[in-house]
Structure 1
């Protein structure tokens, strides 16, 4: 007798990460999208969400005075699963849930790895103002349909990728950024020299870059010089910008 597949659990938002003592009014939300796997219907590991909490807290601290809330998205399953694109669908659901809870406020999708792909794919949602894609996992099959980019027009888009990433090919994120910038000039990409998929070696600089981008894209704060230059530069300069050691200090200074 054939076994029936169990239904996937519902996606959900993690508890809002806010800065203690700041206003209770939420004026913008950043959704953290964890990494995943190309194919899997298994439930995600809690460890993947725990990995996103330090960045969520860092962003909440940086945007506390602006009314920023950060949520880590809990997927239904850990896999992208070809045309089902479960992680992207869960990201879109999460944006809808933000609108339901908080009303008409700007949203930034910030994903890592497979979550970076989900952020890019779901970035066309009307409530999404910006997309931060870190070490995005992208399909490398030359015969596969290329990832869509035209829906990102009108959004601020930032990609960050370590040059030594052995899990997600940094050349693929460069090619995607190159295509995206042809239709959306507000696209830029930073390369983290010698860093791997987890972006641990320069995590301080990456966190500072993320905070600067989120505050600028959600609340109209002026971007730090390196980010402003990257957004304004034509390719390939705006797509191969180096993220140097000490960059975090320059952004916070």
Structure 2
């Protein structure tokens, strides 16, 4: 019997290094990949319970690092999206979930026709990175205020730049967290699961996130920046919102 194509997909992109042309280490030696496994499991359970036939799968990298202008993981993400498009058609809604370097790759690949939104965890957001490809996409970036490897300030700046370029954006600050998302791990997992399923249209986004995504392009850099504990905690799904013309049932 032919396998039924998925009704939606989540592509997961783990972190990496600034430079490194060697392949990622295999299996349990690939620590950035291992760190994303709890997110894959949590999102898979929630999405399948809400929608049914949802594909949640990691993107395989050919190289360990970003590698300057080569932007290797970005091209890996696009190749994975192209494969999905060939297999499932042009109408498959996809959310990209990335951590650190993987979030940078997800943001760069968000212009692909299948992509509906991006959830970026502790993202690497250099100020020179483009944002035009994020227009008409839902972008939620989550960052610890104590991250020492990637910059929360740069994430806030990209959130505002992307909104000015026509994206629907929100930033959530996790106080007391860390780059590896080990501190307050359960909060990272719960928040991410709710954001991904909400962006897929298979659940309701937290109310303040929906309100932030609906801000006008002229909103300032600090607008749409939420505090996990003050604005979203405890993590209960609130009334669903229609995201600037994108209905919840996508």
The Cα offsets for residues 197-236 of structure 1, whole Å up to 9 and x where unpaired, read as 1122222222222222222222364322132133234434
* TM-score in terms of structure 2 length: 0.83
Counterparts of 2:32 and 2:202 in 1: how far apart (Å)?
31
Q: In the alignment, what sits opposite 2:80?
A: 94
Q: Which runs of 5+ in 2 are unaligned?
A: 240-250
Q: In the alignment, what sits opposite 2:94?
A: 107
Q: In the alignment, what sits opposite 2:40?
A: 56
Counterparts of 2:190 and 2:220 in 1: how far apart (Å)?
23
Asked whether 1:39 is paired with 2:23, we answer: no
Partner residue of 1:120 out of 104, 107, 117: 107
Q: Which runs of 5+ in 1 are unaligned?
A: 1-22, 141-145
Q: In the alignment, what sits opposite 2:189?
A: 207
Residues 189 and 161 from structure 1, CA distance in 2 versus in 1: closer, same or farther, beyond 3 angstroms?
A: same
Per mean C-alpha deviation after superposition, the further-off stretch among 220-229 and 39-48 is 220-229
SS at match of 2:118: strand
Residues 185 and 85 from structure 1, CA distance in 2 versus in 1: closer, same or farther, beyond 3 angstroms?
A: closer
Residues 252 and 36 from structure 1, CA distance in 2 versus in 1: closer, same or farther, beyond 3 angstroms?
A: farther
Would the aligned equivalents of 1:208 and 1:251 in 2 still touch at CA under 8 Å?
no
Counterparts of 1:41 and 1:107 in 2: how far apart (Å)?
28
The Cα offsets for residues 34-91 of structure 1, whole Å up to 9 and x where unpaired, read as 1011111111133322221110110011111313221011100111111110010101
* TM-score in terms of structure 1 length: 0.82
Give the drift of 1:248.
5.5
Residues 82 and 39 from structure 1, CA distance in 2 versus in 1: closer, same or farther, beyond 3 angstroms?
A: same
> How do 1:123-202 residues align onto structure 2 when only pairs under 5 Å count?
123-139=110-126, 146-202=128-184
Residues 38 and 204 from structure 1, CA distance in 2 versus in 1: closer, same or farther, beyond 3 angstroms?
A: same
Counterparts of 1:109 and 1:202 in 2: how far apart (Å)?
22
The Cα offsets for residues 180-211 of structure 1, whole Å up to 9 and x where unpaired, read as 11122511111111211112222222222222
Q: In the alignment, what sits opposite 1:73?
A: 59
Q: In the alignment, what sits opposite 1:6?
A: none
Matched residues, number: 226
Per mean C-alpha deviation after superposition, the further-off stretch among 60-69 and 231-240 is 231-240
Residues 205 and 232 from structure 1, CA distance in 2 versus in 1: closer, same or farther, beyond 3 angstroms?
A: farther
Counterparts of 2:166 and 2:183 in 1: how far apart (Å)?
30
RMSD: 2.3
Would the aligned equivalents of 2:5 and 2:88 in 1 still touch at CA under 8 Å?
no
Would the aligned equivalents of 1:232 and 1:238 in 2 still touch at CA under 8 Å?
no
